[in-house]
Amino acid sequence: MNLPIKIISTDFDGTIFAEFENPPISPRFVTLIRRLQAQGVKWVINTGRDMSGLMEALARSQVSIQPDALVLVEREIHFHHDSRYVGHDEWNHGCTAAHEELFARIHPDLPRLRKWIADRYDATVYEDDYSPFCLLARHTRDAEAIHNYLDEYCRTVPNLHVVRNDVYARLAHNGYDKGKGLAEIARRWRISREHILVAGDHLNDLPMLTRDHAHSLVTNDNAVEPVKTTIRQQNGFVSQLSHANGVADGIENYLFGKQ
């Protein structure tokens, strides 16, 4: 069968992975992806997790399928090859260099940003391997207010943006995000956007949830309202089911429904 969808790019947490459900990834989704992969469809996990965090969660889920490619930390690309994941060196080295240059430029401003937050909110600001400025807010409303403040700062620094998922956020280079990572994978595989489906549930998924990157747009019932609104505005599919069942619902709608 010559399927209209050749790449399925899904976010992980909240989109196909439900931390406190058993199993965390629904059998309906696993069965569907296995069947589609057997017909040549490529599955990409496009996540904010790093490699170890994603592999641990997949192992706990005990799924019998493996993604054909990964976009990790919203920017690094890895392809599945001979039972392991191999980095896209050209892309990943460029990504690292761009972030190092950007972070060197903003380094003098970081104490001021940290102080502004500490004076107003009970939030944790920390550094990790991917950003010198990461945030864990106590409440979503605090995260939204801090996000707005950081957005204002980012407007003064070329190529800087805020990547946020719920109460977590970090500063990053806007030349590398979920959408651009997916576009690079599609370029490598020579697959056009008309044959791509994307699914996500939160703010950090918005860069890939656009007709610029995919013809078929899907979100689930547990998605945040800005994501549902974005999908509806582009005539995408908003499922009434949650997590991976909602994604499976959307995939089946595009393959066998009317959209």
* One domain for residues 244 and 182: yes
Residue 181 domain flag: yes
Question: What pLDDT shows up at residue 162?
Answer: 97
Do 237 and 254 contact (CB within 8 A), yes or no? yes
* One domain for residues 12 and 25: yes
Q: Give the domain range for residue 103.
A: 91-173
CATH (domain of 59): 3.40.50.1000
The model's pTM: 0.94
Residue 45 domain flag: yes
* One domain for residues 70 and 182: yes
* One domain for residues 163 and 191: no
Final residue before a domain boundary, out of 126, 149, 173: 173
Residue 85 domain flag: no
Question: What pLDDT shows up at residue 257?
Answer: 80
Final residue before a domain boundary, out of 144, 173, 202: 173
Number of domains in the chain: 2
Residue 84 domain flag: no
* One domain for residues 161 and 182: no
Question: What pLDDT shows up at residue 221?
Answer: 97
Question: What pLDDT shows up at residue 175?
Answer: 96
Using alpha carbons, select from 171, 144, 148 the residue that is nearest to residue 159: 171
Question: What pLDDT shows up at residue 258?
Answer: 54
* One domain for residues 117 and 245: no
> pLDDT by residue for the chain (259 residues), tens digit each?
578 999 999 999 999 999 999 999 999 999 999 999 999 999 999 999 999 999 999 999 999 999 999 999 999 999 999 999 999 999 999 999 999 999 999 999 999 999 999 999 999 999 999 999 999 999 999 999 999 999 999 999 999 999 999 999 999 999 999 999 999 999 999 999 999 999 999 999 999 999 999 999 999 999 999 999 999 999 999 999 999 999 999 999 999 885 5
Question: What pLDDT shows up at residue 146?
Answer: 98
* One domain for residues 164 and 217: no
* One domain for residues 155 and 124: yes
